[in-house]
């Protein structure tokens, strides 16, 4: 196939005007942009968001804008590849740092995009999802799946910050994004992370398994960290000490479109991640990590976040020679697999 295709400028002005009048567009001038050779040309860029730099701006937002005027007080982590006003970290992922101050309540609503909260700092806040009140502690992962009522409250005395991860760009692109406001929820008893606390064992009263679509909504960091340490101790030769956040009733991904993992880097460890098609978000829960993403190198401190485009080499290094580092990972793998687009080039 030829590598040189005709351009719009090759076409007479009257012909282009006639096409426009009929809402028609010639394909060939844009064909190489739509179908580039060998691999995609993503708009997603390697990007680093420094928590030390953004935290004062987030706290200032708390002073400038009361929760009643914000509803959700968030600074969006915008990838520059999508433009200055972008609400995207990648093609399918939205990231935001959300602040809740003592005594505040973010009202109940539900929406079509799936969301998770990775708690960055502070205690005393909670997210109530479908009547289940989930305490928020550093490193906890809390699901707010599509269509479920959720609200945030804060009974503590220090600011609480968390990282929001949503499949909002995808849902918005599909013209399916909307929300519905609701009344304050009535808290119900029960905590899924307690009844599903042990791997391979799930509740089955009188031999019947439950049918809840999301039996666990909160994944405590304490349990996740312990699982990583146990895996590292049990398999000292394992190259990548990583666990997945899954639905314990099915063993499948915790949510439908995005996948979530926690990674432990042993002291001094260097790790090359496989070259895969989905974009990847990295958020440091504990420690310090050097991340080489394509031709960009970032020094990630605790609570920093970074994004890597798909089909891009990612190399991680734990800067500490004496302590492990822990990283939360979010990516588009479930979506790519559902669409038959997933590739792993090793």
pLDDT per residue of the chain (346 residues) written in tens, 0 to 9: 556 889 999 999 999 999 999 999 999 999 999 999 999 999 999 999 999 999 999 999 999 999 999 999 999 999 999 997 889 999 999 999 999 999 999 999 999 999 999 999 999 999 999 999 999 999 999 999 999 999 999 999 999 999 999 999 999 999 999 999 999 999 998 788 887 877 777 777 776 767 778 999 999 999 999 999 999 999 999 999 999 999 998 889 999 999 999 999 999 999 999 999 999 999 999 999 999 999 999 999 999 999 999 999 999 999 999 999 999 999 999 999 999 999 999 8
Q: How many domains does the chain have?
A: 1
* Predicted local confidence at residue 72, as pLDDT: 96
The CATH number for 125's domain is 2.60.120.10
SS3 sequence, 58-113? HHHHHHHCCHHHHCCCEEECCCHHHCCCCCCCCCCCEEEEEEECCCCEEEEEEECC
Residue 309 placed within a domain: yes
* Predicted local confidence at residue 194, as pLDDT: 80
Residue 238 placed within a domain: yes
Residue 296 placed within a domain: yes
Q: What 3-state DSSP class applies to 179?
A: strand
Spatial neighbors of 43 by CB under 8 A, at least 6 apart, are 79, 81, 82, 91
Residue 31 placed within a domain: no
* Predicted local confidence at residue 91, as pLDDT: 97
Residue 30 placed within a domain: no
Residue 346 placed within a domain: no
Spatial neighbors of 20 by CB under 8 A, at least 6 apart, are none
What letter does residue 239 receive in the DSSP assignment?
S
Residue 255 placed within a domain: yes
Distance of CA 152 to the CA centre of its chain: 19
Phi and psi at residue 336, to the nearest 5°? -60, -40
What range defines the domain where residue 272 resides? 47-338
Residue 69 placed within a domain: yes
């Amino acid at each position: 196939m030829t590598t040189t295709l005709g351009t719009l400028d090759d076409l007479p002005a009257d012909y282009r005007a006639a096409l426009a009048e009929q809402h028609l567009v010639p394909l060939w001038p844009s064909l190489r942009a739509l179908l580039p050779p060998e691999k995609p040309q993503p708009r997603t860029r390697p990007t680093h968001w420094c928590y030390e730099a953004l935290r004062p701006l987030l706290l200032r937002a708390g002073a400038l804008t009361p929760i009643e005027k914000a509803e959700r007080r968030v600074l969006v982590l915008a990838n520059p590849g999508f433009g200055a006003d972008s609400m995207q970290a990648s093609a399918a992922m939205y990231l935001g740092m959300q602040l809740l101050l003592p005594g505040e309540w973010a009202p109940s609503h539900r929406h079509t995009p799936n969301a998770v909260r990775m708690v960055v700092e502070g205690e005393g806040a909670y997210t109530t999802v479908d009547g289940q009140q989930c305490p928020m502690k550093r490193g906890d992962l809390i699901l707010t799946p599509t269509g479920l009522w959720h609200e945030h409250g804060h009974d503590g005395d220090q600011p609480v910050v968390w990282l929001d991860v949503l499949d909002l760009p995808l849902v918005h692109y599909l013209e399916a994004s909307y929300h519905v406001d609701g009344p304050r929820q009535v808290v119900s008893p029960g905590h899924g992370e307690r009844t599903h606390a042990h791997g391979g064992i799930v509740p089955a009263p009188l031999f019947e398994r439950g049918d809840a679509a999301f039996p666990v909504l909160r994944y405590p960091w304490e349990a996740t960290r312990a699982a990583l340490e146990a895996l590292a101790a049990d398999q000292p030769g394992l190259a990548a000490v990583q666990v997945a956040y899954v639905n314990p009733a099915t063993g499948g991904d915790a949510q439908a479109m995005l996948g979530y993992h926690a990674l432990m880097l042993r002291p001094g460890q260097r790790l090359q991640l496989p070259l895969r098609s989905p974009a990847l978000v990295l958020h440091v829960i504990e420690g310090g990590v050097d991340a080489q993403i394509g031709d960009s190198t970032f020094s990630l401190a605790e609570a920093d976040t970074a994004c890597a485009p798909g089909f891009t080499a990612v190399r991680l290094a734990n800067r500490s020679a004496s302590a492990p580092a822990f990283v939360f990972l979010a990516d588009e793998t479930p979506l790519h697999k559902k669409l038959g687009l997933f590739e792993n080039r090793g």
